[in-house]
């Protein structure tokens, strides 16, 4: 990798911050998975360009017409089944293995952090690898073999829904409470691939900053975080900046 374009001062400061903590966390958004071939839902080629979220991604829509809603989720599941983690996902897993990052909080539903080897992953909006029955809470893996039959049915007779947070649903209490606790108590927080527009997840860096954490932001462009709470800004693709950050942390530990 050509590292000449990296800002050495920023990367070295970030490496020192991580090397000196066993209490770091990371918060990730859609930008970290774009390099795996998953378009941001809000991008020109994203899911919302083909499916109006008010018709396909709300709990009311699911309850009104589950077969219609499942048309979109089957398409998404079909897209995700061949997607692999990229170097940014593996870099965060490596930082956890090294003991510097103890949890990843993600807004993504693609499960790529877990597939990359991260052990402690807080999925703010759920996981599209599984389905859940709203009636009895039974869960099972996503099954594309039943696609032609429409919305999958649960053994209890109800309709299964993707195990994700639809518009109109609340963030699971465990994810909400655990994320807030981790953010308030961390020494270093790494923000990756999120534009700081979706709340309540976007509030977490502010909570971390209030607690005295060093905030490292890895994004291709500046965001609302940059001038408000960011201490160190690593500009570029996550698949390039995070592996470079890991490299510098490893070298410093030699």
Q: Are strands 126-132 and 139-141 parallel, antiparallel or unpaired?
A: antiparallel
Under 8 Å CB-to-CB from 17, ≥6 apart: which residues?
187, 188, 214, 216, 231, 232
Q: Which of 89, 100, 113, 125 is catalytic?
A: 125
Residue 235: its H or E element = strand 232-235
Residue entry with tokens 């952090």: 113
In a 3-state reduction of DSSP, which class is residue 52? coil
Rounded CA Rg of the chain:
19
C-alpha to C-alpha distance for 232 and 6, rounded to whole angstroms: 13
Establish whether 125 is a catalytic residue. yes
Any residues with CB less than 8 A from the CB of 84 and at least 6 apart, and which?
Answer: 36, 112, 115
Structure tokens of 144? 């594309």
Name the one residue in this structure whose structure tokens are 């374009």.
Answer: 5
What is the DSSP secondary structure assignment for residue 193, as one 8-state letter? S
In the sheet that holds 232-235, the strands lie side by side as 121-123, 101-106, 24-28, 188-192, 214-219, 232-235
Rama region for 83: left / alpha / beta (φ>0; ψ in -120 to 50; rest): beta
Catalytic residues: 125
């Amino acid at each position: 990798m050509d590292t000449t374009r990296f800002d050495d001062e920023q990367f070295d400061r970030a490496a020192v911050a991580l090397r000196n903590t066993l209490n770091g966390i990371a918060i990730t958004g859609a930008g970290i998975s774009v390099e795996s071939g998953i378009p941001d839902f809000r991008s020109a080629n994203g899911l919302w360009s083909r499916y109006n979220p008010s018709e396909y991604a709300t709990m009311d829509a699911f309850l009104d017409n589950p077969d219609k809603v499942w048309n979109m989720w089957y398409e998404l599941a079909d897209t995700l089944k061949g997607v692999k983690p990229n170097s940014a996902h593996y870099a965060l897993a490596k930082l956890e293995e090294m003991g510097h990052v103890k949890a990843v909080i993600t807004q993504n539903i693609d499960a790529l952090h877990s597939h990359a080897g991260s052990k402690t992953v807080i999925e703010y909006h759920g996981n599209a690898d599984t389905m859940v029955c709203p009636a009895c809470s039974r869960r099972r893996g996503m099954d594309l073999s039943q696609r032609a039959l429409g919305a999958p049915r649960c053994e209890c007779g109800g309709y299964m829904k993707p195990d994700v947070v639809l518009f109109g649903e609340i963030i699971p209490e465990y994810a909400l409470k655990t994320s807030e606790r981790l953010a308030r108590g961390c020494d270093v927080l790494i923000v990756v691939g999120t534009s700081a527009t979706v709340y309540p997840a976007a509030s977490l860096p502010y909570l971390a900053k209030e607690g005295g954490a060093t905030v490292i932001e890895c994004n291709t462009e500046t965001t609302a975080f940059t001038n408000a709470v960011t201490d160190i800004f690593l500009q570029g693709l996550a698949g390039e900046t995070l592996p470079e950050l890991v490299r510098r942390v490893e070298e410093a530990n030699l």
